Amino acid sequence: MLSYTELRPGLFIEWQKTLWQVLEADFVRMQQRKPVMKTKLKDVLSGKVREVSFQPSDEIEEAELSKMQARFIYESRGQYWFDETSNPKNRFFFAAEQLSSRVNFLKTDTLITALVYGGNVISVELPIKMDLEVIEAPPSIKGDTASGGSKQVVLETGIKISVPFFINEGDIVRVNTQSGEYTERMEKA
């Protein structure tokens, strides 16, 4: 059993006979009232989001998940297909809506971690940082770098991000998949 104070974003819990993912968790203590943990929970199966306030008396169970190494194979008609690395015949897919912003970083042969609950794959976790090629970048103008600004570029997966002016087409950049931000240039074109 979990205490209500142990709830944090990203945690999977079993509550009211359903699997939920904690999206937000804020501890609130008001004068002359019992402290509560205000959370935003997402029903993993239906995708519905609900706000719930947990109190010290609530019983919350952490979901028992296992992890499996998998690989992104391809995208077809809004379905993103993966296979288990140790058993390529074991394939599964997610719709673009289920993956949300993670689709912006998926490229063929990307190794990911799949979360398994009750024998079913319920979610995928990308590496925190990934190296992607810049396929479209406006030219830099001499003197721009003195201001320390940024410009928008398009990466090989189609996502647009802000990068420093010295990044050019063909460069390989490292991107944080959780925030979608540029972290460093890995290879110069």
pLDDT tens figures, 5-33: 899 988 999 988 889 999 999 988 887 78
Confidence at residue 90, expressed as pLDDT on a 0 to 100 scale:
92
pTM: 0.74
What's the domain count of the chain?
A: 3
Does residue 70 sit in the same domain as residue 121? yes
Mark whether 116 and 135 lie in a shared domain: no
pLDDT (mean) for 152-164: 93
Residue at which a domain ends, from 14, 38, 62: 62
User: How far from the centroid of its chain's Cα atoms is residue 166's Cα?
Assistant: 28
> Based on the domain organization, do 106 and 152 belong to the same domain?
no
Which pair of structure tokens corresponds to residue 33?
């009232």
- Same structural domain, 107 and 136: no
User: Residue 15 sits in which domain range?
Assistant: 4-62
pLDDT digits (tens, 9 = 90+) for 39-95: 999 988 777 899 999 998 888 999 999 999 999 999 999 899 999 999 999 999 998
The answer to whether residues 154 and 170 belong to one domain is yes
**Which range has the worst mean pLDDT, 35-49, 143-157, 175-189?**
143-157
Structure tokens at 119: 């024998």
My answer on whether 96 and 120 are in the same domain is: yes
Q: Where a domain ends, among 62, 78, 100? A: 62
Q: Residue 158 pLDDT > 70, yes or no?
A: yes
Q: Using the predicted structure, report yes or no on whether residue 141 has a pLDDT greater than 80.
A: no
The phi-psi region of residue 16 (left if phi > 0; otherwise alpha if psi is between -120 and 50; otherwise beta) is: left
Please check whether residues 182 and 147 belong to one and the same domain: yes
Sheet holding 66-76, edge to edge: 91-95, 79-84, 66-76, 111-117, 120-125
pLDDT at res. 20: 92
80 shares a domain with 120: yes
Residue 119 confidence (pLDDT): 87
- Which residues neighbour 14 within 8 Å (Cβ) at sequence distance 6 or greater? 20, 61, 62, 63
72 and 108 fall within a common domain: yes
CATH number, residue 156? 2.40.50.140
Domain shared by 30 and 13, yes or no:
yes
Q: What is the mean pLDDT of the chain?
A: 89
Q: Does residue 159 sit in the same domain as residue 133?
A: yes
Residues 111 and 139 in one domain: no
Distance CA 1, CA 38 (A): 18
Identify the domain boundary among 125, 149, 173: 125
